[in-house]
């Protein structure tokens, strides 16, 4: 009986030892369903990750997913020492400074850093989109289906809402202020729902000098900045195109009155200031920029059939002087917004802007019978546009936005 018990306990000890060895082997051996490390990803996934997406927000989202994958450990968990928003080890400094696709859900509230428009993570971003024509005369294009199509099919990530001031029916000359402000509110809301940025544009033009409507501007931007204080996607353009001899000193005086009004409600919002001579003389601003405020940018406008090498030199001189520049209006026709178009010059302009990561917003979203309109004058649609609805400019812009 004693021998039988000894044999039994010996067999039990041997069985326990074998079981422990098996468990230790199972813990150290990779399981069949362990997540692949990046070098083991299928070839087609790598190819898809490197292909540019037509939709900027999709491209940016894909980049985020890839970063998260690179921080996974072999067991599929995330290493807390390397988060997805860190620069991958193989990314060059040049890649880090290049403008990235932008969307409010990805880039968050924009700011100006080292003379560049940047997202919350400090990476430079590039806005590309279109401006409405005057809201008082073409209100019908402020609709969500239109914005959705421009975002999803054209790859646009910004809409500019052009609020004329002095023209009859404009905000300061007989216009219905409440109706116009409702169009602004709707545009801001539609842009947000479509994950786009929006520029509220105080469209100085025939009034030439923004100081003519200084009090109205302060009241308007006070109301808007208070209402949209929590909206990360809103940008304020406080004077479209000062002209007819309005000096940079006069524009600065105006800006120094309006900027504090916005800053009271929206301390971090990006504010765009127009420049002399229909927002062409950015070199004047570069010599004497506004001080005392962060997150300021300066508007530059061009029309390709009229503005060529001399204007490109003017822009580059301002960029080289570290002036934060944004193109809030451009066309491929002459400076009147009408006349013949110059596609080679337009392509040269876009190449230059892309080279520097400068944001650009085209003029204009309407069916007005002029060359700069996106749509043919015969097109009565306000969304659901097809190729047959586009003007020659519209065809060029679609190709440019989707390449």
Determine the pLDDT at residue 184. 98
Specify the pLDDT at position 20.
Answer: 37
What is the distance, to the nearest Å, from the Cα of residue 325 to the centroid of all Cα atoms in its chain? 14
In angstroms, rounded to a whole number, what is the distance separating the alpha carbons of residues 194 and 178?
24
Contact yes or no for 361/327 (Cβ under 8 A): yes
Distance CA 251, CA 55 (A): 37
In this predicted structure, what is the pLDDT of residue 108? 97
Q: How far apart are CA 317 and CA 300, in angstroms?
A: 12
Q: DSSP readout, 150-174?
A: HHHTT---EEEEEEESSSTTSTTTT
On the 0-12 / 13-18 / 19+ scale of CB atoms within 10 A, 135 is buried
The closest alpha carbon to 277, from 249, 241, 307, 310, belongs to 241
The SS3 call for residue 272 is: strand
Closest CA to 346 of 334, 335, 332, 361: 332
In 3-state terms the chain splits into helix, strand, coil percentages (rounded to 5) of 45, 15, 40
- Length of the chain, in residues: 403
Angle in degrees, 0-180, between the axes of helices 214-227 and 248-265, rounded to the nearest 10 = 30
Tell me how far apart the alpha carbons of residues 142 and 188 are, in angstroms, rounded to a whole number.
10
Q: Which burial class, exposed, middle or buried, applies to 70 when counting CB atoms under 10 A from its CB (0-12, 13-18, 19+)?
A: middle
The phi, psi pair for 299, rounded to 5°, reads: -80, 140
Tens digit of pLDDT at every position of the chain (403 positions):
433 444 444 444 444 443 433 333 333 333 333 232 222 232 223 333 322 233 333 333 333 323 333 332 222 222 323 333 333 223 333 344 467 779 999 999 999 999 999 999 999 999 999 999 999 999 999 999 999 999 999 999 999 999 999 999 999 999 999 999 999 999 999 999 999 999 999 999 999 999 999 999 999 999 999 999 999 999 999 999 999 999 999 999 999 999 999 999 999 999 999 999 999 999 999 999 999 999 999 999 999 999 999 999 999 999 999 999 999 999 999 999 999 999 999 999 999 999 999 999 999 999 999 999 999 999 999 999 999 999 999 999 999 999 9
At 84 the pLDDT is 32
Coil vs helix vs strand at 253:
helix
pLDDT score at 21: 36
116 contacts: CB under 8 Å, gap ≥ 6: 99, 124, 324, 357
Q: Tokens in use for 106?
A: 């990805």
How many C-beta atoms lie closer than 10 Å to residue 17's C-beta? 10
Query: Strand locations in 32-118, DSSP E?
Result: 111-113, 116-118
Instruction: Write the CA distances from 251 to 207, 276, 279, integer angstroms.
Output: 13, 8, 11
Quote the CA–CA distance of 366 and 252 in Å, as a whole number: 32
The pairing of strands 116-118 and 111-113 is antiparallel
Q: How far apart are CA 25 and CA 89, in angstroms?
A: 33
Q: Which residues of 253-276 are buried (b: 16+ CB within 10 A; e: fewer)?
A: ebbebbbebbbebbeebbbbbbbb
Residues paired with 160 in a beta bridge: 131, 199
The CATH label, of 3.20.20.80, 3.30.70.1560, 3.30.420.40, 3.40.50.970, for the domain at 106-366 is 3.20.20.80
Q: How far apart are CA 275 and CA 204, in angstroms?
A: 11
**Catalytic sites, residue numbers:** 241, 329
Distance between CA atoms of 228 and 241, rounded to whole angstroms? 24
The residue ranges of DSSP E strands in 148-252, in sequence order, are 158-164, 197-203, 234-237
CB 297 within 8 A of CB 112: yes
CB of 331 closer than 8 Å to CB of 360: no
List all residues 6 or more positions away from 72 whose beta carbon is below 8 Å from its beta carbon: 35, 37, 78, 79
Residue 98 confidence (pLDDT): 66
Give pLDDT, residue 101: 72
């Amino acid at each position: 009986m004693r021998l039988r018990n000894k044999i039994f306990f010996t067999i039990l000890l041997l069985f326990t030892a074998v079981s422990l060895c098996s468990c230790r082997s199972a813990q150290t051996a990779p399981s069949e369903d362990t997540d692949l490390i990046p070098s083991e990803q299928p070839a087609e996934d790598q190819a898809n990750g490197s292909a540019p997406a037509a939709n900027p927000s999709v491209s940016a989202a894909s980049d985020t997913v890839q970063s998260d994958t690179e921080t996974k450990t072999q067991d599929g968990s995330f290493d807390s020492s390397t988060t997805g928003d860190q620069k991958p080890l193989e990314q060059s400094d040049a890649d880090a400074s290049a403008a990235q696709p932008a969307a409010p859900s990805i880039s968050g509230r924009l700011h100006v850093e080292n003379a560049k428009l940047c997202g919350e993570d400090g990476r430079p971003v590039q806005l590309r989109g279109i401006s409405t024509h005057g809201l008082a005369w073409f209100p019908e294009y402020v609709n969500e289906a239109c914005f959705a199509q421009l975002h999803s099919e054209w790859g646009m990530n910004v809409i500019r809402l052009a609020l004329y001031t002095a023209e009859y029916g404009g905000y300061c000359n007989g216009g219905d202020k409440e109706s116009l402000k409702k169009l602004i509110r709707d545009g801001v809301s539609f842009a947000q729902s479509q994950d786009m940025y929006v520029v509220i544009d105080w469209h100085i033009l025939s009034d030439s000098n923004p100081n003519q409507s200084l009090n109205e501007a302060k009241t308007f931007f006070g109301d808007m900045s208070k209402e949209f204080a929590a909206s990360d996607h809103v940008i304020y353009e406080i004077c479209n195109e000062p002209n007819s001899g309005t000096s940079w000193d006069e524009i600065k005086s105006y800006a120094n009155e309006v900027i504090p009004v916005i800053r009271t409600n929206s301390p971090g919002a990006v504010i765009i200031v127009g420049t002399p001579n229909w927002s062409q003389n950015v070199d004047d601003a570069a010599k004497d920029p506004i001080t005392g405020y962060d997150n300021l940018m300066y508007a530059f406008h061009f029309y390709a059939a009229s503005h060529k090498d001399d204007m490109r030199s003017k822009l580059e001189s301002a960029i080289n002087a570290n002036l934060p520049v944004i193109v809030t209006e451009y066309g491929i026709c002459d400076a009147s917004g009408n006349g013949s178009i110059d596609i080679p010059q337009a392509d040269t302009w876009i190449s230059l802007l892309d080279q520097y990561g400068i944001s650009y917003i085209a003029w204009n979203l309407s069916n007005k019978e002029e060359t700069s309109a996106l749509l043919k004058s015969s097109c009565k649609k306000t969304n659901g546009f097809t190729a047959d609805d586009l003007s020659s400019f519209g065809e060029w812009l679609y190709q440019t936005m989707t390449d």
